[in-house]
Structure 1
Amino acid sequence: MGKALFIIDVQNDFTEGGALGVDGGAAVAAGITSYLQQHPDHYQQVFASRDWHDAVGDNGGHFATDGEPDYVTTWPVHCVAGTEGAEYHPALDTSAVTVHVRKGQGVPAYSIFEGTTDEGSTVADALEELGILDIDVVGIATDYCVRASALDALELGRHVRVLTDLVAGVAAESSEAALAELGHAGAELLTSEQSESISPE
């Protein structure tokens, strides 16, 4: 039975100063790095996703190119493929990452399961091939891509834990609602410190 960490969208555009920066994003990047350094053998696989949007067009209506974004389904231009904004935040050490995932190429995409690995497979297929049953989720943003990724993992029958001190959201109210929804759906909510002493069943 394998265990994986999902690092969701810890990118420059989603951290302070970025096109869609959230408060606490840089701290999450540094916190994930510290956590992995302290527990180098805790996970069999480490997946990291990035938004990787096309440079032209509105990416299936995801970018508000003809008006103001509503910050619900339309957004300012962000994480365009090949730009600095799409790169991992410099405080995130990706040396432990074993599976890189790109998502949102020409279409809206929130969940890591909507992306493809560098090898060209889906995340669901990669989990099957690697024998991953237990998944811890960290990253940005709690109320959007973290939420969607964790819900999809639960839907696929995985045991999911969200490390609540290693996520950051767009807004406090929607982030709290997202965590409550995930808990109701069956995810465990705990801190990274708690995760060290609580193993999945």
Structure 2
Amino acid sequence: MSKALFIVDVQNDFTEGGALAVDGGDAVAERITRYLEGHAGDYAIIIASRDWHDGDNDNGGHFSSEPDYVHSWPPHCVAGTEGAEYDPGLDTSAVTHHVKKGQGKPAYSAFEGTTDDGMTVAQLLEEHGVIEADVTGLTTDYCVRTTALDAIDHGRHVRLFTDLVAGVAEESSEAALAELAHAGAELTESGARETVDE
């Protein structure tokens, strides 16, 4: 039974000091790295997604000078900038597939992205016979939520590691976790928190 690990949008613009920083982003990056040290071999594929927005347009209304922080946001994760790069606390050496999303349009789920050679996430899961998907990353209430829901919609059993995610806001993150549980996701912890916080 093949498993996939999703590492969603652990990028500089979403961690401390970034354009859309969330509290605990750096810690999530470090915990995912620690988890990978002991568990990378558990997975047939490890997919890391990144927002990769255009810098010369509003990306279909995704960027705004007066953002509502629900459907529009300040500019972030512009392709080729430091903000779009992975957080330095995330070791990507075990990642088998890198996915970019949001090129000129709003995109939250990793399933909306493609690898540099044009493969979709759905195609990767099919090609590798993936039955189960574990989801980590940023942010709980947006890109993690939509990626996990899409994995469920594609017929995979989803586990979300609650200690390997962080959200924009507490209320919306709690609502997202409740929605995912209702949709059939298993909410659990990875165990990486204890080792990284010691």
Q: TM-score, normalised by structure 2?
A: 0.95
Partner of 1:139: 137
Q: Deviations over 1:173-194 (max 9, x none)?
A: 1000000000000000000029
Deviation for aligned residue 1:119: 2.2
Structure 2 residue runs without a partner (length 5+): 193-198
The answer to whether residue 13 in structure 2 is matched with residue 13 in structure 1 is yes
Q: Distance in 1 between matches of 2:186 and 2:117?
A: 30
1:76 paired residue number = 74
1:118: how far off? 2.2
Amino acid corresponding to residue 19 of structure 1 in structure 2: A
Which amino acid in 1 is paired with 2:152?
Answer: L
- SS of structure 2 residue aligned to 1:170: coil
Equivalence map 1:1-201=2 (5 Å): 1-64=1-64, 67-193=65-191
Q: What is the rounded CA distance, in whole Å, between the counterparts of 1:118 and 1:33 in structure 2?
A: 23
Amino acid at match of 2:16: E
| Cα pair 1:35 1:192 within 8 Å, conserved | yes
Unaligned stretches of 5+ residues in structure 1 = 195-201
Following TM superposition, where does structure 1 have runs of at least 4 consecutive aligned residues deviating by more than 6 angstroms?
A: none
Q: Which amino acid aligns with 1:37?
A: E
TM-score with structure 1 setting the length: 0.94
Identity %: 71
How many angstroms apart in 2 are the aligned matches of 1:179 and 1:117?
28
What is the CA distance between 1:117 and its match in structure 2? 1.2
User: What letter matches 2:50 in structure 1?
Assistant: R
Please report the RMSD computed on the Cα atoms of aligned residues, expressed in angstroms: 1.0
In 2, the alpha carbon distance for the partners of 1:47 and 1:140 equals 14
